[in-house]
Amino acid sequence: MVQYVARRLLQLVPVILGVSLIVFLIMHFTPGDPVALMFGVDAATNPELMQSIRHQLGLDQPLYMQYLRFLGNLVRGDLGRSLTTNDKVLEEVSSRLPATLEISVCALVVSVSVGLLAGVVAAVKRNSAFDYASTVGALFGASIPAFWFGLMLIFTLAVSLSLFPVSGRGGVLSTALLQAVTGDVAPLKKVLSHLVLPSITLGLPSAALVARLTRSSMLEVLGQDYVRTARSKGLPERAVVYRHALRNALIPVVTMVGLQFGYLLGGAVITESVFAWPGVGRLVVLAIQQRDYPLVQGDVMILALIFVMINLLVDLTYGLLDPRIRYQ
């Protein structure tokens, strides 16, 4: 197991290098001058000062020199400073990352709970009205754009019915949970009310994919000999489905859930913009608009690292679900 984990960690090096190179090239080939954006309408009146700032930031160097400097800083754990605020990129991203993880985890809970339940019931009641309805619902959920779905939820549940806040973050979830333990539940209610709409917007499209994969995996497992043997022994249907069939059907679902969490981190860019959520996704949008190269590169690198580590955890989870799987 230790050798397997060490080998997988070594495999992360070329992945991170590839991500860094792609992001670096995309940002530098995107039209727009970050220094000119700093000056705004006065850019044409201060060419000498603009050139001096480009030199200070190293933007007048060849691309390969800028990339090598970025890699050198990355090895030391230095993601640079923002071109617009001059704050350390690592500190800016770290301050916003909890909000993104909060909404992504809540969306994952929505995705897994709704997807697993719908997929299992659809498989057990194959060709029933619920099965057909879940198929149509999954197709609808996987097809609708997140920004449109979020706006529709805001219009119906927040504006028309006034059930939830329109936008913003109601507070830190972990802090609200601690306050709820001491008896003050008001902050937790406020935080959860702000989390409902973004979590549903981000999680339901993923729930559609989880439901379809769970259904197909369950149908395959329910046709196995050991399931028929369990039924012939007189075990209750609930025990057959959840104790014998579901555990073996979860391996491909776990893979999908791990990949979907990475998708949720990336999809939070749109959802955070719609709901004015102060997370990394919204920070990336602002950084792209301002051509803030270090900030965009730092954001993407941290999200990519989280994504590959989640994939490693997913691989290690296989052995817990199926004892026959061993890592050599």
Over residues 54-82, the pLDDT tens digits come to 777 777 788 888 888 888 888 888 888 88
Architecture of domain 97-279 in this structure: Orthogonal Bundle (1.10)
Cα distance between residue 159 and residue 150, in whole Å? 12
**Structural domain boundaries of the chain?**
97-279
The number of beta carbons lying within 10 Å of the beta carbon of residue 324 is 7
Tokens (6 digits) for 48: 């000498």
Cα distance between residue 304 and residue 153, in whole Å? 30
pLDDT exceeds cutoff 60 at 148 = yes
The predicted-structure confidence for 99-115, as pLDDT tens digits, reads as follows 888 898 899 999 999 98
Residues, the chain, total? 328
Output the pLDDT for position 180. Answer: 87
The predicted-structure confidence for 150-171, as pLDDT tens digits, reads as follows 899 999 999 988 888 888 888 8
Q: Which helix (H) or strand (E) holds 48?
A: helix 47-57
Are the CB atoms for 287 and 325 separated by under 8 Å? no
| Positive or negative: CA dihedral 50, 56, 58, 61 | positive
The predicted-structure confidence for 182-195, as pLDDT tens digits, reads as follows 888 888 888 889 99
Q: What is the mean pLDDT of residues 12-25?
A: 84
pLDDT exceeds cutoff 70 at 40 = no
Cα distance between residue 71 and residue 19, in whole Å? 12
Cα distance between residue 34 and residue 36, in whole Å? 5
pTM score, whole prediction = 0.80
Burial degree of 238 (CB within 10 A; 0-12, 13-18, 19+): exposed
The predicted-structure confidence for 234-286, as pLDDT tens digits, reads as follows 777 777 777 778 777 887 887 778 778 877 877 778 888 888 888 888 888 88
| Helix, strand, coil abundance in the chain, percent, nearest 5 | 80, 0, 20
First to last CA, the chain: 6
Output the pLDDT for position 319. Answer: 64
